[in-house]
């Protein structure tokens, strides 16, 4: 049984409090946790592992903030809900949690096509850490415009 299948079984049975909470939060923020049965529709999150890792990395409250940023920035575009962008955004939010401005994130990143983030993150071979590669692209785009407060590089690696 795959991770998505076993997670789906736990979500449907309601026996795992953490899975139930993640599913509730994902749906509350306007997404569908596809759990392996993707139809390629707007708002579907397929990557079970990336989503669960984001929840563990961020904790409940910051996970909600992270989901809202994803939803408000790219409005559920399936290209923005890849495992790599989910992981990279989660790492970015964790690293800059107290320094970043949600409005600035939304304004600057919504102007960036998710395909560009995917392309640039995949092209970075300086590290094997996929989340770090994509978080770097997000940081560059967050800092990319003239004016405004720039975030310093704080990633480990």
pLDDT tens by residue, 13-53: 667 788 889 999 999 999 988 876 667 788 999 888 999 99
- Alpha-carbon distance of 37 to 123, in angstroms, equals 29
Across 47-61, average pLDDT? 94
Three-class secondary structure of residue 43 per DSSP: coil
Confidence category of residue 4, pLDDT binned at 50, 70, 90: low
Q: What is the model's pLDDT at position 119? A: 96
Confidence category of residue 86, pLDDT binned at 50, 70, 90: very high
Rg over alpha carbons for the chain, rounded to the nearest Å, is: 15
According to DSSP, residue 40 is labeled: -
Contacts of 38 (CB under 8 A, 6+ apart): 44, 46
pTM: 0.91
pLDDT in tens, 102-140: 999 999 999 999 999 999 999 998 888 999 999 999 999
- Alpha-carbon distance of 31 to 127, in angstroms, equals 30
Q: What is the model's pLDDT at position 76? A: 93
User: What is the b/e burial string over 87-107, where b = at least 16 CB atoms within 10 angstroms of the residue's CB?
Assistant: bbbbbbbbbbeeebeeeebee
Contacts of 72 (CB under 8 A, 6+ apart): 106, 110
Across 91-105, average pLDDT? 97
């Amino acid at each position: 049984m795959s991770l998505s299948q076993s997670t789906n079984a736990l979500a449907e049975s309601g026996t795992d409090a953490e899975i139930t909470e993640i599913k509730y939060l994902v749906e509350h923020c306007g997404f569908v946790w596809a759990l392996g049965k993707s139809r390629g529709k707007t708002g579907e999150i397929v990557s079970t592992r990336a989503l669960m890792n984001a929840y563990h990395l961020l904790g409940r409250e910051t996970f909600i903030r992270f989901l809202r940023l994803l939803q408000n920035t790219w409005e559920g575009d399936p290209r923005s809900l890849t495992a790599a962008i989910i992981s990279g955004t989660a790492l970015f939010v964790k690293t800059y949690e107290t320094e970043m401005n949600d409005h600035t994130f939304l304004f600057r990143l919504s102007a960036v096509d998710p395909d560009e983030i995917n392309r640039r993150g995949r092209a970075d071979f300086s590290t094997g850490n996929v989340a770090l590669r994509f978080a770097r692209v997000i940081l560059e785009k967050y800092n990319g415009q003239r004016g405004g407060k720039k975030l310093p590089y704080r990633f480990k690696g």
